[in-house]
Amino acid sequence: MRIATWNVNSINARLETVVRWFEAAQPDVACLQEIKCVDEKFPAEPFERLGYNLAIHGQKTYNGVALLSKRPLEDVTRGLPEGDGDEHARYIEAVVSGPQPVRVASIYLPNGNPVGTEKFAYKLAWMGRLHRHAQNLLKLEEPLVLAGDYNVIPEPRDAEFPKNWEDDALFQPQSRAAFRALKNLGLTEAYLQADGAPGAYTFWDYQAGAWQRNNGIRIDHALLSPQAADLLRGVTIHRDVRGWEKPSDHVPLVVELDA
């Protein structure tokens, strides 16, 4: 089972690029972030034509997450627990059925900038909610993949120019500590387990020639429960997609499980 995660930065604005990648890569499951549309505006037809079942948790103009799967999706959950009053569409979870069912979540963690504002406090509070939910999911003792745009640069090695990010919410000690605490629940970071080589970036800003200068960061992650980690066969970052016409500023990361 190949499970992809990709922040597409508006599914409708980049539909041709996204469909082109789906046709070429043929992931079994895809976790999309920043679809930037309400559920009924999601362009379902081209993906259904490719054989995908869809579960959408959309929002007008901002945020929005989706799960696309060639296998049936069951037990779909939209939104994190403890979300009273939180209208941001940032989390969707489902069980991908099959001989070896896998629970998969698509995550769009808050950016948190600027630091010192309520946006950064919201980021940390949201990470706390994710931490508590992951604790409960791990009690199920099943293959679990928490994939998405975490908006966290875990270590200096995960940025081409770490000093450029010292004042950014993505690289603050609190953000990185919360990410480590999440992993310390017993989750395995798929890329580090399968490869771990530095320079494996998943995001390049549109500004200041970041892509041309390889001024990238690694902020898209897939965290695996012990049961999923046992099935891990490899991880691929589809770096070339950033050089396509009308690209997202993120590229797909694909986790392969023996499931």
Could you give the residue numbers annotated as active site? 108, 149, 250
Distance in angstroms (rounded) separating the CA atoms of residues 151 and 154: 9
Does the annotation flag 7 for ligand binding? Answer: yes
Does the annotation flag 240 for ligand binding? Answer: no
Return the structure tokens found at 136: 């409960």
Does the annotation flag 34 for ligand binding? Answer: yes
How far CA 223 is from CA of 46, 195, 199, 234, 241, in Å, comes to 29, 14, 19, 13, 23
Does the annotation flag 258 for ligand binding? Answer: no
Does the annotation flag 184 for ligand binding? Answer: no
One-letter amino acid of 257: L
Distance in angstroms (rounded) separating the CA atoms of residues 37 and 94: 20
Distance in angstroms (rounded) separating the CA atoms of residues 194 and 25: 19
Does the annotation flag 28 for ligand binding? Answer: no
Task: Choose among 145, 234, 247: nearest CA to 203.
Answer: 247
| Spatial contact of 34 and 8, defined as CB atoms under 8 Å apart | yes
| Spatial contact of 31 and 147, defined as CB atoms under 8 Å apart | yes
- DSSP assignment of 32-96 equals EE---S-GGGS-HHHHHHTT-EEEEE--SSS--EEEEESS-EEEEEES-SS-TT-----EEEEEE
Residues making up the binding site for Mg(2+): 7, 34, 149, 151, 249-250
Residues making up the binding site: 7, 34, 149, 151, 249-250
